[in-house]
């Protein structure tokens, strides 16, 4: 600011992430689009939140504060599915933990007010976007109000922020008051106690109702998810005590020209030079290229559609290839584009072929239970793009590391052949998620037969290309609907095919996801039918252990599960046996160590101020339940069916 001669910034962006000037990082995009609009932007990255000193150092912003927790939800960033403290933070220098508080957004907002009262505060990003209405919070096991209540922000922007943040800046710059912005798309706000909600609006069950009644919570989820198409969504309102929350329709998706403009801004593609250690998230994606955003899959456990939308927004080939050329011109580039993709790699340039129908449609998935006949599913634009990208001078390899929607890929053998021949480095990661068609249906994922068909096509195409390549499947444990019997069958499936997954994903109930509602209420909100769910940590650990039945430390948990379910046939030395009859030495040693040391830290977040885990800038053990220690016990909740 001193070098540029700025007396004050127009906008201060506050983020829980380290600053990386790369188009995969939200604050880099928002900072660049504001700069492109002629505004003076200051970015406060991972400030010390214990005081407002870091906020005061930048001076009073002329227009507003824009507050975000970062690219990830802070609680998912901090804790595993078993509510244990993670050992690193991919969005911090050197992976250091403790550089952001739990529940960043309300704490950052409070520091904004302390530093300079009266400056409008706008909250956004994934953490705010997924908490815009009443929601279930897995980490505290409670239903919580909209984040607007705790943050006391003037405005909450949900979804992607390029259009809204520029509109906010321009309108405030033109002399409008922050209350005048309540007509904006993609915005939520709280009315005063005496203000009445605007009409027409659809009323959601109140915060008090959904907190007290799980059925009403499920009804709220269903109603809200059917009002997410920006082309036909209605305004929603929800009573929070004596105030109304107003939820405007989502922002319209970016057109291709707008996408091209955003990604064509002068990103340096590197972290800020002040950082002395590498930032793991940047190391992973620095040579990747985002070709689209959004996802029409509608997977119930995924937050992408609730944040980026269901309508695909694709960049032009020229824009993408220009970025590939810029990467290839970097002297540090080693010749490999690590990923050419997005949320789903093979949805590029796919949209509804009937705009008039798309404007009315309220389907939550364009491809489940069946692919909509109106959906354009041609892979030719993707194939053409991949071929052009690998011909860029200086590029040796172009890999596809984003997820591939297998039921779509099965429609185009040429795409599978192209991926196998040119864009896989020996192993292709796929995400079948489960082998139970019943569970897959609850996930809105393709059935097991689709996965088998894709795997067969890929292996055959690899052999035809003279390559020995394999698919590496990813699975989720403890998803709503998944029982111990289902996980045993999944373990047998893995044994039969020789899969030994090193990484597995425990289901994490992220706020506002459909599957999270199943977890909390025991109901599928779309059908209101019961869903049997593992909610206790003990039961969730058993499902995870079955996914990695081959690990010695899981022997005792797997044996107990098999005996409980009458599957003694899977214990011993038979061809399908999951574990041996006697515990391996490593299993006994692991059990002794666990009994001696106890489990790692569990979540007990400080709601309204400093995170107990991060005082002093370092992770600290918290007061919580550990086996063998006196103190509070975790809540026990029975599955819905007893």
Q: What phi and psi values does residue 32 have, to the nearest 5 degrees?
A: -70, -40
Neighbours of 377 (CB within 10 A): 19
What are the pLDDT digits (tens) for 476-490?
999 999 999 999 999
Dig out the tokens for 503 from the structure.
């990484």
564/570 Cα distance (integer angstroms)? 12
What predicted TM-score, i.e. pTM, was given to this entire model?
0.91
CA-closest candidate to residue 41, choices 29, 50, 51: 29
What are the pLDDT digits (tens) for 361-380?
999 999 999 999 999 999 99
Beta bridge partners of 579: 571
> What is the SS3 assignment for 43?
strand
CA-closest candidate to residue 164, choices 125, 217, 213: 125
What are the pLDDT digits (tens) for 253-285?
999 999 999 999 999 999 999 999 999 999 999
Neighbours of 142 (CB within 10 A): 11
Q: Which of 359-368, 445-454, 550-559, 633-642 has the lowest mean pLDDT?
A: 633-642
Q: Tell me what pLDDT residue 522 has.
A: 97
| Sheet strands (E) in 58-108 | 64-68
Terminal-to-terminal C-alpha distance of the chain = 62
What are the pLDDT digits (tens) for 22-45?
999 999 999 999 999 999 999 999
The answer, yes or no, to whether residue 142 has pLDDT greater than 60, is yes
**344 touches 405 (CB < 8 A):** yes
**Domains of the chain, first to last:** 1-188+603-642 (3.40.50.280), 191-252 (no CATH), 286-427 (3.30.750.210)
Burial class (CB in 10 A: 0-12, 13-18, 19+), 355: exposed
> What is the SS3 assignment for 607?
coil
Q: Tell me what pLDDT residue 247 has.
A: 98
The answer, yes or no, to whether residue 201 has pLDDT greater than 80, is yes
Question: Strand 339-341 vs strand 288-290: parallel, antiparallel, or unpaired?
Answer: parallel
What are the pLDDT digits (tens) for 409-435?
999 999 999 999 999 988 998 889 999
Element (H, E) at 336: strand 336-337
Dig out the tokens for 589 from the structure.
């040693």
Enumerate helices (H) and strands (E) in the chain, giving the number of each.
Answer: 24, 22
The answer, yes or no, to whether residue 196 has pLDDT greater than 80, is yes
CA-closest candidate to residue 233, choices 185, 189, 299: 185
Beta bridge partners of 136: 143
Q: Which residue has the tokens 């970025």?
A: 323
């Amino acid at each position: 600011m001193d070098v540029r001669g700025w007396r004050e910034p127009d906008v201060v962006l506050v983020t829980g992430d380290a600053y990386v000037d790369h188009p995969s990082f939200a604050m880099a995009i928002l900072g660049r689009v504001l700069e492109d609009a002629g505004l003076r932007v200051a970015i406060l990255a991972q400030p010390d939140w214990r005081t407002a000193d870091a906020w005061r150092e930048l001076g009073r912003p002329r227009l507003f504060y824009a507050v975000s927790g970062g690219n990830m939800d802070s609680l998912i960033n901090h804790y595993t599915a078993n509510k244990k403290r993670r050992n690193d933070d991919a969005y911090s220098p050197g992976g250091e933990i403790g550089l952001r508080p739990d529940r960043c957004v309300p704490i950052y907002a409070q520091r904004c007010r302390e530093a300079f009262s009266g400056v409008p505060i706008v909250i956004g990003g994934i953490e705010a976007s997924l908490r815009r209405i009443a929601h279930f919070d897995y980490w505290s096991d409670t239903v919580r109000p909209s984040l607007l209540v705790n943050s006391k922000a003037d405005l909450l922007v949900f979804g992607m922020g390029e259009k809204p943040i520029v509109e906010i800046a321009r309108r405030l710059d033109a002399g409008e008051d922050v209350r005048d912005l309540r007509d904006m798309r993609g915005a939520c706000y709280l009315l005063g106690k005496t203000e009445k909600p605007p009409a027409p609006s659809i009323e959601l069950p109140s915060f008090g109702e959904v907190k007290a009644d799980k059925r009403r919570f499920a009804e709220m989820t269903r109603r809200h998810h059917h009002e997410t198409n920006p082309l036909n969504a209605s305004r929603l309102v929800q009573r929070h005590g004596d105030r109304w929350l107003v939820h405007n329709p989502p922002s319209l998706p970016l057109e291709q020209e707008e996408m091209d403009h955003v990604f064509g801004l002068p990103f340096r593609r590197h972290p800020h030079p002040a950082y002395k250690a590498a930032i793991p998230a940047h190391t992973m994606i620095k040579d990747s290229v985002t070709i689209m955003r959004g996802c029409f899959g509608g997977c119930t456990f995924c937050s992408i559609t609730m944040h980026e939308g269901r309508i695909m927004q694709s960049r032009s080939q020229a824009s993408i290839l220009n970025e590939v050329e810029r990467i290839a011109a970097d002297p540090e580039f080693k010749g490999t584009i690590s990923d050419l993709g997005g949320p789903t790699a093979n949805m590029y340039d796919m949209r509804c072929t009937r705009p008039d129908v798309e404007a009315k449609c309220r389907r939550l998935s364009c491809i489940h239970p069946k692919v909509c006949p109106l959906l354009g599913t041609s892979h030719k634009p993707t194939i053409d793009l991949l071929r052009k990208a690998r011909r860029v001078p200086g590029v040796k390899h172009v890999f596809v590391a984003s997820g591939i929607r297998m039921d779509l890929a099965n429609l185009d053998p040429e795409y599978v052949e192209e991926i196998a021949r040119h864009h896989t480095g020996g192993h292709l990661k796929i995400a079948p998620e489960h082998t139970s068609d019943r569970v897959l249906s609850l996930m809105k994922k393709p059935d097991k037969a689709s996965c088998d068909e894709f795997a067969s096509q890929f292996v055959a195409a690899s052999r035809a290309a003279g390559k020995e390549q394999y698919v590496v499947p990813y699975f989720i444990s403890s998803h709503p609907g998944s029982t111990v019997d289902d996980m045993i069958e999944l373990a047998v499936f893995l044994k039969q095919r020789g899969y030994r997954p090193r990484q597995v994903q425990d289901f994490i109930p992220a706020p506002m996801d459909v599957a999270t509602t199943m977890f909390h209420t025991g109901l599928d909100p779309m059908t209101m039918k019961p869903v049997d769910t593992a909610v206790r940590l003990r039961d969730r650990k058993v499902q995870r252990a079955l996914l990695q039945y081959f690990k010695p430390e899981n022997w005792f948990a797997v044996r107990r599960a098999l005996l409980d379910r009458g599957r003694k046939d899977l214990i011993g030395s038979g061809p399908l046996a999951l574990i041996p009859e006697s515990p391996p030495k490593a299993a006994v040693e692991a059990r002794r160590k666990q009994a001696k040391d106890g489990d790692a830290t569990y979540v007990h977040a400080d709601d309204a101020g400093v995170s107990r885990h991060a005082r002093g800038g370092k992770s600290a053990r918290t007061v919580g339940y550990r086996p063998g220690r006196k103190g509070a016990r975790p809540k026990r909740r029975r599955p819905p069916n007893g």
